[in-house]
Structure 1
Amino acid sequence: MEKNYLFNQRIRLRHLHTFVAVAQQGTLGRAAETLSLSQPALSKTLNELEALTGARLFERGRLGAQLTTMGEQFLIHAVKILDALNHAGQSLRASEQGDPAVLRLGVLTTVALGMLPSILDRFHQQQPQAIVQVATLHNNVLIAGLKAGEFDVCIGRMAEAEMMNGLNYELLFLESLRLVVKPDHPLLSDNVTLSHALAFPVVISPEGTAPRRIAEAMLEKQGCHLPATLVETSSTSLARQLALRYNYVWFVPSGAIKEDLLHASLAALPIASHEPGEPVGIMTRSGVPLSLSAEVLMTTIRRSHAG
């Protein structure tokens, strides 16, 4: 009883913010940058928290900071506390006369390039006073941010069951992989094969990403290898410019180039991955009520995809 009393008296919000940031970022260095702290100051706060809890919350090593079993349990409570405070602040701000609704949306980079512009346009036709804050991130960071209460709604990929704990997921589509080039690319004047395409420079997602895994499976099945002339990037805008202006072959998730194919800005090579694709859908937190703006946005996302 005395230990719990001391914990309640001495715990501070900075302890929770530091803990959640390290859990999200995976390293003390990146967490310190996120919080605009020095790494020694962050380490001190983390050590204070572990002293207060009486448990080791992270295993720190060469690969970063990994949550212990006790750390995983504490993360659930820390996120709930910060989320409750965030909602309290939002409700107070919203009560001020004339204060517009703020909606925090997290999306995959491919979604931001593909379907998101039309979604935002349709949404603002219904909610003209709403402010939409958009973050484009990798899927694991999206999920961590959603769990930490940084987003109201996310459009991301289905992950392992353990990562999806505490989240609602609604499938929108299966995102396949396409190989696209500019409309006057030399490959389009011939019977193209994957080996022919790989004679040209390639732009592709970094290792460890879902699009890269699908691409590697395609290459392995056909006994091919990526060329030496290669650009690996998570920037869809850079990859798109390389494909639009030069002879790069872009390995890209289908959702990112839907508009480009529709308007013939880019052309898809007749090479199929034969993989079912990665499930992309709407994600929200379980048990957390959504604002009217969030509900309208989700309806708009469903209708945009169906249309």
Structure 2
Amino acid sequence: MNLDTRIKFRHLLCFLEIARQGSFARAADAMAVSQPAISKTLKELEDLLGTRLFERDKAGVELTAAGTRFMRYAGPCVQALREGVNTLRSDRHEPPLVRVGVLSTVESQLMPLVLQRLHARHPALVVSVATGPGAYLLGQLHVGDLDLVIGRMTDSPQVQGLAFEHLYSEAMTLIVRPGHPLLPLGPAAREAASRYPLVLPLAGTTIRKHADSLFVQCGIELSAQRLETLSPTLSRRYVLGSDAIWVAPRDAVRLELGLGELSELDLGVHEPGGSVGLCSNAALPLPLPAHWVCEVVREVAGQYRQGEQALPPQA
């Protein structure tokens, strides 16, 4: 059987939208069709491929191993076709565009330095930045909606099938406001730490696993009063106005620690650190603007590895 003549573009669009949304209902809304129509189209594709692409449960749908393999090719295929059509329709003077997914681990410090240096070298470059949990951003990378994802993500199952380049290792740290009651206690603060509010990454994220590991090493029970967020801005504001303890990636607070605006709580135990890296879809050639981003990210990451302070942007 020649599958090339049986599998239609609508099958691929349906498959990718279900993978993107994690739900038949949301995929149907996004495509402006009925849910039975979505289910029928997917059933046709699964019959043609002779395998199940999704596992269904009350919480939604998840890709099977076969579905994950298929997405490695379906996403770039659809994205390449869209880009080919756009080259015929768009203005030839349209500025270059790169789409980057940025995790909270690099949002506050590394990415602003990268963007400053990028725009110093490429004044017409448009950088579209998406933020959110690693699983979401890697899913966007799989289906071709992003060119790159930058951050700490190696523990995420969605990284399978993608190309990951290690940039530097970064540990989690405990952050409080200057003058916090626990600061003078040093390691003895472990016994009292559970009585204070906590600021933690969202449950289920890669960075949350590292945060939980740090508390296990310190022998501290999680406080019942918690703020769970991936927003460095919200976390920073909350900690500065309260006695909360923020379990943060060092990059998120590097500048404030150097200026003395935030303080590091030393409990005598340090999280070993996770791999911050650059992720791309190996099944789809990187556009030239994405190569520009990779070049600058590697430069700034090299300074991090050498322990240098953040430098002004350079051309």
In 2, Cα distance between equivalents of 1:103 and 1:301: 14
Q: Are 1:172 and 2:128 counterparts?
A: no
Provide, for residues 21-62 of structure 1, a one-character-per-residue CA deviation record: whole Å limited to 9, x for no partner.
222443324444554655444334323433554543323123
**How far has the Cα of 1:107 moved from its partner?**
1.2
Q: Pick closer, same or farther for the CA change 1:62–1:248 going to 2, 3 Å.
A: same
Corresponding residue SS for 1:104: strand
In 1, Cα distance between equivalents of 2:155 and 2:206: 13
**How far has the Cα of 1:238 moved from its partner?**
1.8
**How far has the Cα of 1:177 moved from its partner?**
0.9
Q: Are 1:50 and 2:46 counterparts?
A: yes
**How far has the Cα of 1:85 moved from its partner?**
0.9
Q: Pick closer, same or farther for the CA change 1:35–1:202 going to 2, 3 Å.
A: farther
Instruction: Indicate conservation of the 8 Å contact 1:127/1:293, yes or no.
Output: no
Corresponding residue SS for 2:92: coil
**How far has the Cα of 1:78 moved from its partner?**
1.6
The number of aligned residues is: 302
State the AA in 2 paired with 1:254.
Answer: R
In the TM superposition, what are the counterparts of 1:76-225 in structure 2 within 5 Å?
A: 76-92=72-88, 96-159=91-154, 163-191=158-186, 193-225=189-221
State the AA in 1 paired with 2:152.
Answer: R
In 2, Cα distance between equivalents of 1:200 and 1:92: 59
In 1, Cα distance between equivalents of 2:137 and 2:4: 31
1:17 corresponds, among 13, 18, 25, to: 13
1:268 corresponds, among 256, 264, 269, to: 264
Instruction: Indicate conservation of the 8 Å contact 1:177/1:273, yes or no.
Output: no
In 1, Cα distance between equivalents of 2:87 and 2:62: 34
Q: TM-score, normalised by structure 1?
A: 0.85
State the AA in 1 paired with 2:190.
Answer: L
Q: Are 1:244 and 2:240 counterparts?
A: yes
In 2, Cα distance between equivalents of 1:184 and 1:148: 47
Aligned to 2:313: none
Q: Are 1:281 and 2:277 counterparts?
A: yes
Greater Cα offset, 158-167 or 169-178? 158-167
Greater Cα offset, 197-206 or 54-63? 54-63
Root-mean-square deviation (CA, aligned residues, Å) is 2.7
Greater Cα offset, 126-135 or 221-230? 221-230
Unaligned runs of 5+ in 1: none
Unaligned runs of 5+ in 2: 304-315
Aligned to 1:254: 250
Identity %: 37
Instruction: Indicate conservation of the 8 Å contact 2:218/2:269, yes or no.
Output: no
In 2, Cα distance between equivalents of 1:212 and 1:18: 32
In 2, Cα distance between equivalents of 1:67 and 1:117: 34
**How far has the Cα of 1:114 moved from its partner?**
2.8
Provide, for residues 110-155 of structure 1, a one-character-per-residue CA deviation record: whole Å limited to 9, x for no partner.
3112321121111111111011110012122222221211111210
Q: Pick closer, same or farther for the CA change 1:273–1:143 going to 2, 3 Å.
A: farther
In 2, Cα distance between equivalents of 1:209 and 1:40: 32
In 2, Cα distance between equivalents of 1:79 and 1:225: 43
Instruction: Indicate conservation of the 8 Å contact 1:100/1:129, yes or no.
Output: yes
In 2, Cα distance between equivalents of 1:119 and 1:229: 36
Q: TM-score, normalised by structure 2?
A: 0.84
